[in-house]
Amino acid sequence: MSNSNKSLAQLKEGETGTIEGFNNEKLSLKLLEMGCLPGCEVRMKYKAPLGDPVCVCVCGYDLSLRLDEAAVIQLKNKKIS
Amino acid sequence: MSESFPKIALLGNPNAGKSSLFNLLTGLSQKIGNFAGVTVDKKVGTFKATTQEEFEILDLPGTYSIYPKSFDEKVVFDVLTDTKNIDYPDYLLVVADASNLRRNLLLFSQLADLEFPILLVLTMNDVALANGQSVNEEKLGQLLGVRVIKINSRTNEGIDQLKTSIQHKEFKVPNKLYDYKFVAPEIVESIPQIVPNANGYKALLLAHHFESMSTLSSLQKSEIQQLLDKVEFNSKTKQARETIKRYEAINTIVDEVIISLNKTKAQNYTDLLDKIFTHKIGGYLSFLIILFLVFQAIFSWASYPMDLIDKAIGLLTGLINQTFGSGPLVRLVTEGLISGLGGVLIFVPQIALLFLFIAVLEESGYMARVMFIMDKIMRQFGMSGRSIVPLVSGVACAVPAIMATRNIDSTKDRLITIFVTPLISCSARIPVFTVLIAMIVPSKLIFGIFNLQGLALMGCYTMGFLAALFTAFVLKKILKTSETSYFIMELPSYKLPRVKNIWYTIVEKVKTFVLDAGKVIIAISVVLWVLASYGPGDALQKAELEAINQAQSSQITYTDLQLLIESKKLEASYAGQFGKFIEPSIRPMGFDWKIGIALITSFAAREVFVGTMSTIYSIGQGEENNDTIIKKMKAEIRSGTNKPMYDLPLSLSLLVFYTFAMQCMSTLAVTYRETKNVTWPLLQLVYMTGLAYVSSTIIYQLLS
């Protein structure tokens, strides 16, 4: 088991995770509004050519956000799948 | 019936199809104004249900929630929470994207709690269908307690039904979706005692936003603060909790109304196109190709209507002169007013074409991808991916480019972009560059393919581009802001652009420019005309006589005499006097009073430089005269020496000056229009002209 939680920014292209919570309250408000809710599944679709921003699929649509914004989203520890 | 019609506000998420619906309902009755106190544009139109029954429709900025995160969204909050606001609506028309129903219903649920009568419009039903989903609108209507109408603004499906529903005022206050009181019961109860009318959900909103609300007195604010302190109200935690609870309520509803069509997903074009447009190489390459095509089109297409406008203005002037003679008043009209009007209209083709392309790229969803791939680069310079459209448009003309900064939602990013855009070399600099480069750079091919003059022109563009980046970098360090810049945005699916929406965008942009910036341009044109046509006392008559005397000693033709008179008159005019007056201050750059005059007259627009130079050197105005000007200027001798005036140092100095200097009143006018503040255009003028002055002086002093 890993001891620290993964954030959305650490996902590789094509990987999926489940949102657990946020580590920045101000940004979390915006992200919640955009449908990034705890318990929601989020998939890293692709990254911009320079690695930042990234495009994720959440709540059934494509959302673009910067890496430092993605790092705010904490993911649940995944069981080995 | 009285003058005031029922007011309907149009609300919805960005990209939900709100503007299409607004265009469908109001057509060309749209008017653009301002919301009180802010720079956000207000679009109002009239929907005529019958000849007697009209509705005023207000298009509010797209927003994801009632909690404002930007100035645009603050407007929505202000209008909906203040019953005394002149835009306070009677009804709400809420637009929701059926392919993304959960996220779109968040705003709806908040509006429902404000107890407005609402009619819900579902758009993008075809997109939902392509994703294998359909919304049961009857069921949704029952659960929400409002009338729900599906529309397709492409095929006009459902539009008639919607119009009838509006006409019959089928707006209903929705059912309570969830109990907001639990978030902070004490607040909801106590706030109405401090602020009358702030009942229910409004009380909670007030608790979150009272600090920025101008409608509250300072006493009310301190009372609210005391109350919040007492109950240890944490705004952020409460907001987060509210949003999560709302989504829970929405999820139950959405699960009941979405019908899965059990059919395999249609081929997803969006994913396919994204593979190309966001690819490491393909992304930038396709962007460059699209840019190239757009500029080719602008430069080759805009010249025809621009020539036509030029000719029409010339014709009109000629006609007026023939009919009314050429008295001072007539000349004020023709050479001041009408040529000023021409100066405004000449921009229209470029503005229209540029916004044609911007609208197509934006409507199709491609623009969001350009922002996506450019964001990291632009961020190094205090801008964001959203700045790329204005900066690139600046190569054609700074005026529409600055108008295109609207979609930058961070104020700081937007101001920086507006400020640096005029440093990007625009098409009006080309005539000046061409003349000056021809003077110092031979038209030779190097390596067999590159034209030396072409390379020099590219050098000027690079210089402007670098200056823009440098300035942005400096501003990034100087400007302070409390606003966070987000790049959390939806990447909408690709869609075919709608002709109607594009047409309305073009009309709106052209109208804004002609009406707002146009006034300033015409006013300055008239002033500049007066300066160039009148002189102190009888200076002009003397100048004419002197020219005639000079002509008698040397045999010259009648046309040449007229040109000589014009040249002498310009020298004696206020502009000429002023040119001589500023000569000492422009001498460090190597300029003389003749260039001084051109600097003044070309403040109207850079390309006027060439025209003024031809007048000063007594060359007839007209086409194919570039060679003559270049010849005359090459022959000019610097006074007191026997060296040529336009040598390498001076020509370079002039080139640099015209690259950097803010020689364009239209840009200043449009900066004023977009920032609603005199400080910004003034700063721009001082900074750019200062930059030009210092750079030109250094170059001239080093080289000569």
Mutate to test the interface with B, among A31, A54, A57, A64 (most CBs of B within 10 A): A64
Measured in angstroms, the CA of B284 and the nearest CA of chain A are apart by 9
Fold entry, domain A8-75: SH3 type barrels. (2.30.30)
Q: What are phi and psi of B619, to 5 degrees?
A: -110, 135
- The band of B39, judged by pLDDT with boundaries at 50, 70 and 90, is low
pLDDT of residue B518: 77
B565: tokens are 């008179």
Residue ranges in B446-517 assigned as alpha helix (H): 452-478, 499-512
The strand pairing partners of B119, in sequence order, are B93, B147
pLDDT of residue B2: 45
Mean pLDDT in chain A? 88
pLDDT of residue B428: 78
Local structure of residue B38 (DSSP, 8 states) = S
Q: For B364-389, write each residue's pLDDT tens digit.
A: 999 899 999 999 999 989 888 989 88
Residue ranges of E strands in B22-112 = 31-34, 41-48, 54-59, 91-97
Is the separation of the CB atoms in A17 and A11 below 8 Å?
yes
Mean pLDDT in chain B? 86
As a whole number, mean pLDDT of residues B601-629 equals 70
Chain B: residue whose CA lies nearest to A38: B244
ipTM of the shown complex: 0.92
Is the separation of the CB atoms in B568 and B560 below 8 Å?
no
Local structure of residue B81 (DSSP, 8 states) = H
A69 touches chain B (CB under 8 A): yes
Chain B positions touching A66 (Cβ under 8 A) are 375, 487-488
Q: For B292-323, write each residue's pLDDT tens digit.
A: 888 778 767 887 888 898 888 888 888 888 88
Q: For B178-191, write each residue's pLDDT tens digit.
A: 888 888 888 888 89
CA distance B265 to B126: 13
The phi-psi region of residue A12 (left if phi > 0; otherwise alpha if psi is between -120 and 50; otherwise beta) is beta
B10: tokens are 């149009």
- The residue extents of the domains of chain A are 8-75
Give yes or no for residue B621 having a pLDDT over 90: no
Cis peptide before A53 (omega within 30 of 0): yes
pLDDT of residue B1: 42
A66 touches chain B (CB under 8 A): yes
pLDDT of residue B101: 93
- The residue extents of the domains of chain B are 7-167, 191-225, 269-424, 523-703
Give me the architecture of the B7-167 domain, per CATH.
3-Layer(aba) Sandwich (3.40)
A72 touches chain B (CB under 8 A): no
Residues 3-22, chain A, touching B (beta carbon < 8 A): none
Q: For B10-33, write each residue's pLDDT tens digit.
A: 999 988 989 899 999 998 777 777
Give yes or no for residue B473 having a pLDDT over 90: yes
- The band of B266, judged by pLDDT with boundaries at 50, 70 and 90, is low
pLDDT of residue B606: 83
Amino acid symbol at B233:
F
B33: tokens are 């104004």
pLDDT of residue A2: 46
pLDDT of residue B560: 78
Query: How many A-B residue pairs are in contact by the CB < 8 A criterion?
Result: 108
Helix (H, G, I), strand (E, B) or coil at B575: helix
Which sign, positive or negative, has the C-alpha torsion B195, B197, B201, B206? Answer: negative
A30 touches chain B (CB under 8 A): yes
Indicate yes or no: CB of B65 within 8 angstroms of CB of A33.
yes
CA distance B154 to B151: 9
Give yes or no for residue A80 having a pLDDT over 50: no
- The band of B426, judged by pLDDT with boundaries at 50, 70 and 90, is confident
Measured in angstroms, the CA of B486 and the nearest CA of chain A are apart by 8
Q: For B324-347, write each residue's pLDDT tens digit.
A: 877 778 888 887 788 778 877 887
Residue of higher predicted confidence among B435 and B618: B435
Give yes or no for residue A47 having a pLDDT over 80: yes
- The band of B471, judged by pLDDT with boundaries at 50, 70 and 90, is very high
pLDDT of residue B625: 57
The C-alpha angle with vertex B655 and arms to B654 and B660, in degrees rounded to 5, equals: 95
Q: Per CB distance under 8 Å, which residues of B are interface residues toward A?
A: 64-65, 67, 69, 99-100, 102-103, 106, 131, 236-237, 239-240, 243-244, 247, 270-271, 274-275, 278-281, 283-284, 368, 372-373, 375-377, 385, 484, 486-493
Residue of higher predicted confidence among B655 and B1: B655
Of residues B313, B340, B468, the one with CA closest to residue B394: B468
Measured in angstroms, the CA of B104 and the nearest CA of chain A are apart by 9
